[in-house]
Amino acid sequence: MSCIIYERNDKIVRSAHKLTSEITKQKGKSITQEDIKTITDRLKESENRIHEQANKWGLKFTSLSELNSLGGPFSGMFWSLEHNFIVVVFKGTTPLNFEDFVIDLMFQRTDARSFVFGEVHEGFYTSLFPQSGHSTSRSSRSSPYITILRAIRSKAAEIQDLRSEKVKVNVWVTGHSLGAALASLFYTRLIKSPGDLGPNCILRDGYMFGSPSIGDADFAAEFASYTNSPYDRHNTLWRIIDDTDIITKLPPGWSDPSVRRVIDKSSILNYAHVGEGIRFFQDGSRPSSTRNLFSSGKEPIIIERASDNLSFIGWTRSNVNELLGWANLNMNDDGDDILEKLHSSKNVFQEYKHKKGSPLAIIEKLMPTFFKNHLPARYFSVMQRSRIYFDYSHSITTVSENDNTYASGSKNFQEFAEKHIEK
User: pLDDT for 103-159, tens place per residue?
Assistant: 555 678 889 999 999 999 888 998 899 765 555 555 556 789 999 999 999 999 999
Tell me, what's the pLDDT at 304? 39
Tell me, what's the pLDDT at 136? 54
Strand partners, 61: 78
- Given a cut of 50, whether residue 23 has pLDDT beyond it is yes
Contacts of 181 (CB under 8 A, 6+ apart): 92, 104, 121, 124, 175, 208, 211, 212, 214
Tell me, what's the pLDDT at 69? 72
Tell me, what's the pLDDT at 102? 57
In tens, the pLDDT along 4-13 reads 888 888 788 8
Tell me, what's the pLDDT at 145? 94
- Given a cut of 70, whether residue 25 has pLDDT beyond it is yes
The mean-pLDDT minimum among 10-24, 51-65, 302-316 falls in 302-316
Radius of gyration of the chain, Cα coordinates, nearest whole angstrom: 22
* Per-range mean pLDDT, top range of 88-97, 105-114, 180-189, 359-368: 180-189
Whole-number Cα distances in Å, 81 to 113, 160, 167, 207: 36, 8, 12, 21
Q: Is the pLDDT higher at 60 or at 19?
A: 60
Tell me, what's the pLDDT at 396? 43
Tell me, what's the pLDDT at 316? 39
Could you tell me the domains of the chain?
Answer: 48-130+142-319+356-389 (3.40.50.1820)
SS3 of residue 46 by DSSP: helix
Tell how far CA 285 is from the center of its chain.
24
Under the banding of pLDDT at 50, 70 and 90, the label for residue 83 is: very high
In tens, the pLDDT along 226-244 reads 988 887 888 999 999 888 8
Distance CA 412, CA 317 (A): 24
The mean-pLDDT minimum among 91-100, 340-349, 354-363 falls in 340-349
Q: What does the pLDDT average to over 259-282?
A: 77
Q: Is the pLDDT higher at 369 or at 122?
A: 122
Under the banding of pLDDT at 50, 70 and 90, the label for residue 29 is: low
| C-alpha triplet 243, 306, 253: angle, nearest 5° | 5
Under the banding of pLDDT at 50, 70 and 90, the label for residue 39 is: confident
Distance CA 237, CA 174 (A): 9
Q: How many residues are present in the chain?
A: 423
In tens, the pLDDT along 158-211 reads 999 998 888 999 999 999 988 999 999 999 999 999 999 999 999 999 999 989
Distance CA 76, CA 67 (A): 11
- Given a cut of 70, whether residue 265 has pLDDT beyond it is yes
> For the chain, what is the mean pLDDT?
72
Tell me, what's the pLDDT at 347? 39
Q: What percent of the chain has pLDDT over 90?
A: 23
Under the banding of pLDDT at 50, 70 and 90, the label for residue 381 is: confident
Tell me, yes or no, if the pTM score tops 0.85.
no
Please, how many CA atoms are within 13 Å of residue 110, restricted to the half-sphere of its CB? 18
Tell me, what's the pLDDT at 13? 82
